[in-house]
Structure 1
């Protein structure tokens, strides 16, 4: 079973919210993570949710066009925005995986 990039990033964000109190973080730190603090996890979560929103918008515009109620310009614009957002998420994921691989190759 393959896990999609968006699903993995969303699961990571949910795990931060659930595991933070179990690890011993204070409630203020947990609220900062949940409230969109400056953590890497919240940045990724925001990026993924924005990309998912762009994909939903593109899908809705495409459905309108198929039904004959939409404009082709809106469809092309929405698909372009969704493609750009998805490319950004994939590029960040590739950089994170590359950095992780490099860290794992380091000798201690």
Structure 2
């Protein structure tokens, strides 16, 4: 699956909760030096982990006979989307780092 620049930008905007058309306000913490990007990555990782846990719980409930198949499919779809978003952001960060390392001083 190929993820383009527009898809990555849309995912970034969704993670920040701003929507695709609105500019994001920086959410820096005065005690941290990481800035808005660090906070965004931390939130992305924690929300992805929570989504994966929810999918695992729905799957376990279905296996135990207490869950609904539609809930499992929905949770798995949400987990897959969250993981794809996280991988896309990671790939873009690695690509940007490699571009910076190739720059001449």
Normalized against structure 1, the TM-score is what? 0.67
- State the partner residue of 1:5: none
Q: Secondary structure of 2:66's partner?
A: coil
Matching of residue 102 in structure 1 with residue 99 in structure 2: yes
- C-alpha RMSD of the superposition: 1.9
Q: Which has the higher helix share?
A: 1
- State the partner residue of 1:92: 89
Unaligned runs of 5+ in 1: 1-27
> Highest Rg: 1 or 2?
1
Distance in 2 between residues matched to 1:29 and 1:75, nearest whole Å: 40
Q: How many residues align?
A: 77
- State the partner residue of 1:44: 41
Normalized against structure 2, the TM-score is what? 0.69
Unaligned runs of 5+ in 2: 1-28
List structure 1 runs of 4+ shifted beyond 4 angstroms.
none
Query: Alignment partner for residue 61 of structure 1, among 58, 63, 80?
Result: 58
